[in-house]
């Protein structure tokens, strides 16, 4: 019944976990869900108020502009200038997205011909792979290994792959490994993309979720980045707006125009009232972001010190709301956690074969629940 491209999709591990989780809940287990990469914190009130007001204005009820409201694109451009000191022409170098997942899912359609290679980090955000498959590109996985600080080794990519490589997906601060990248790595990517004629697509969804004074860079800060690439960003993680579906792509004019051509033919843009609320989010005080990071930082400290007290060797992340931990067998570990402690964690193998041997904890639950999870784990043998 279904097209081959659906049959070719890798099994969606997360759907399987959702099923097991629902089953446990039906059995009456008080499940602690450290699996979901979705903030439990609400969207800040001033942003919600802005949406309510905008939704009452009939001017927002029509088809939006395909590329996004110019005021929204200007707000994005000003935010990038303030935050990363990079300038974008709001008219030609900024595109509104219906969440950055949408941009990631559509970008290969603009640049990849059937049979072209797409380079993507493994483990990685699953949409890098599925969008490659939908565009009939061939996936080349770039392993992220602990011994390389979870950065891909660009010089290990075979010459025959490079010859036909058209696009590269990568993202730091990284989901799922929570690794960060130094700007020197982004400089390396710009050189690499130039040399090999590759469109570099950086996924920067977590740049604002950072701790201990760390400030994540943007790929676009590097000289020459606009000529080779673009960055996908989003309001989802920064302002607890995952359900709202609002993001942005920024980058070189021609590249942004390519993605824009795909989108014009597929969707009709994000609801104007949501874009107006997005403007409020980007242009108001950023104290709400600092507050959220303080909360995540306390949770991170609770989880990391708890896991260490249980004897696990775990790295304390500088950014993202994930803790990535080495285990013997990621599926077995996750199953045991759910069956014997009622705790959901995500097996690393769900993000790609190089994620095997790791699990991901999301610190999207409060300190009390994280402490309870640690107490429940204390009785288990791993
Ligand atoms: C959450 C996430 C996104 C997409 O978020 P949107 O809600 O679609 O903006 C993109 N990349 C990574 C790595 C993510 O974790």
Tell me: pLDDT of 107 over 80.
yes
How many other β-carbons are positioned within 10 Å of the β-carbon of residue 112?
22
Judge if 72 and 159 occupy the same domain: yes
Q: To 5 degrees, how large is the angle CA 315–CA 333–CA 171?
A: 45
Ligand 1 mean position to 362 CA, how many Å?
Answer: 14
**113 has which bridge partners?**
none
Cβ contact 214:182 at 8 Å: no
Domain boundary among 283, 303, 322: 283
**For residue range 337-358, what is the model confidence (pLDDT) as tens digits?**
999 999 999 999 999 999 999 9
Judge if 316 and 250 occupy the same domain: no
Judge if 207 and 323 occupy the same domain: no
Please state the domain count of the chain: 2
Which pLDDT score is estimated for 286? 98
Rounded CA separation 47/56 (Å): 15
Does ligand 1 have an atom closer than 6 angstroms to the CB of 125? yes
Does ligand 1 have an atom closer than 6 angstroms to the CB of 101? yes
CATH number at residue 372: 3.90.1150.10
Ligand 1 atom closest to the Cα of residue 125 is 13
How many other β-carbons are positioned within 10 Å of the β-carbon of residue 45?
9
Ligand 1 mean position to 379 CA, how many Å?
Answer: 35
Judge if 201 and 112 occupy the same domain: yes
CATH number at residue 121: 3.40.640.10
Does ligand 1 have an atom closer than 6 angstroms to the CB of 60? no
Judge if 222 and 258 occupy the same domain: yes
Ligand 1 mean position to 188 CA, how many Å?
Answer: 24
Cβ contact 130:151 at 8 Å: no
Judge if 278 and 200 occupy the same domain: yes
Ligand 1 atom closest to the Cα of residue 320 is 15
Backbone angles phi, psi at 221, to 5 degrees: -70, -25
Judge if 241 and 168 occupy the same domain: yes
Cβ contact 367:298 at 8 Å: yes
> At 321, is the secondary structure helix, strand, or coil?
coil
Judge if 21 and 101 occupy the same domain: no
Instruction: Give the mean pLDDT of 224-252.
Output: 98
Rounded CA separation 52/349 (Å): 41
Ligand 1 mean position to 4 CA, how many Å?
Answer: 26
Judge if 266 and 168 occupy the same domain: yes
User: What rounded mean pLDDT belongs to the chain?
Assistant: 96
Judge if 74 and 213 occupy the same domain: yes
Q: Which among 231, 232, 221 has a CA at the least distance from the CA of 183?
A: 221
Ligand 1 mean position to 237 CA, how many Å?
Answer: 8
**For residue range 26-48, what is the model confidence (pLDDT) as tens digits?**
999 999 999 989 999 999 999 99
Which pLDDT score is estimated for 12? 76
Residues shown for the chain: 382
Which pLDDT score is estimated for 317? 98
Instruction: Give the mean pLDDT of 122-128.
Output: 96
Domain boundary among 283, 315, 341: 283
Judge if 319 and 176 occupy the same domain: no
Judge if 34 and 119 occupy the same domain: no
Does ligand 1 have an atom closer than 6 angstroms to the CB of 247? yes
Domain boundary among 283, 300, 331: 283
Does ligand 1 have an atom closer than 6 angstroms to the CB of 131? no
Residue 11 lies in domain: 4-41+287-378
How distant, in Å, are the alpha carbons of 125, 249, 303, 314, 316 from that of 265? 25, 17, 45, 46, 43
Ligand 1 mean position to 300 CA, how many Å?
Answer: 20
């Amino acid at each position: 019944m279904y097209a081959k491209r659906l049959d070719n999709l890798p099994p969606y591990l997360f759907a399987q976990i959702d099923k097991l989780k629902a089953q446990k809940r039906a059995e009456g287990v008080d499940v602690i869900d450290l699996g979901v990469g979705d903030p439990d914190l609400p969207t800040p009130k001033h942003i919600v108020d802005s949406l309510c007001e905008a939704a009452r204005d009939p001017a927002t009820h029509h088809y939006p502009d395909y590329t996004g409201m110019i005021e929204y694109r200007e707000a994005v451009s000003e935010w990038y200038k303030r935050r990363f000191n990079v300038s974008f022409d709001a008219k030609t170098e900024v595109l509104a997205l219906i969440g950055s997942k949408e941009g990631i899912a559509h970008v290969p359609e603009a640049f990849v011909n059937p049979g072209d290679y797409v380079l993507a980090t493994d483990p990685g955000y699953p949409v890098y792979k599925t969008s490659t498959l939908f565009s009939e590109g061939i996936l080349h996985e770039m392993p992220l290994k602990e011994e390389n600080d979870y950065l891909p080794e660009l010089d290990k990519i075979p010459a025959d792959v490079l010859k036909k490589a058209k696009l590269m997906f990568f993202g730091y601060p990284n989901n799922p490994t929570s690794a960060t990248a130094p700007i020197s790595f982004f400089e390396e990517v710009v050189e690499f993309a130039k040399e090999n004629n590759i469109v570099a697509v950086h996924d920067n969804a977590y740049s604002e979720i950072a701790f201990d004074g760390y400030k994540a860079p943007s790929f676009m800060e590097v000289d020459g980045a606009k000529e080779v690439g673009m960055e996908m960003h989003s309001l989802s993680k920064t302002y607890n707006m995952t359900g709202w579906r609002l993001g942005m792509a920024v980058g070189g004019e021609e590249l942004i125009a390519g993605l824009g051509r795909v989108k014009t033919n597929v969707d009709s843009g994000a609801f104007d009232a949501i874009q107006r609320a997005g403007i409020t989010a980007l242009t108001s005080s950023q104290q709400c972001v600092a507050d959220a990071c303080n909360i995540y930082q306390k949770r991170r400290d609770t989880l990391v010190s708890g896991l260490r007290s249980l004897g696990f060797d775990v790295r304390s992340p500088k950014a993202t709301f994930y803790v990535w931990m080495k285990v013997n067998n990621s599926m077995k570990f996750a199953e045991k956690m759910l069956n014997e402690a009622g705790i959901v964690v995500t097996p690393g193998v769900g993000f790609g074969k190089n994620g095997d041997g790791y699990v991901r904890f999301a610190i999207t639950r409060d300190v009390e629940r994280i402490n309870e999870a640690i107490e429940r784990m204390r009785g288990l043998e791993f």
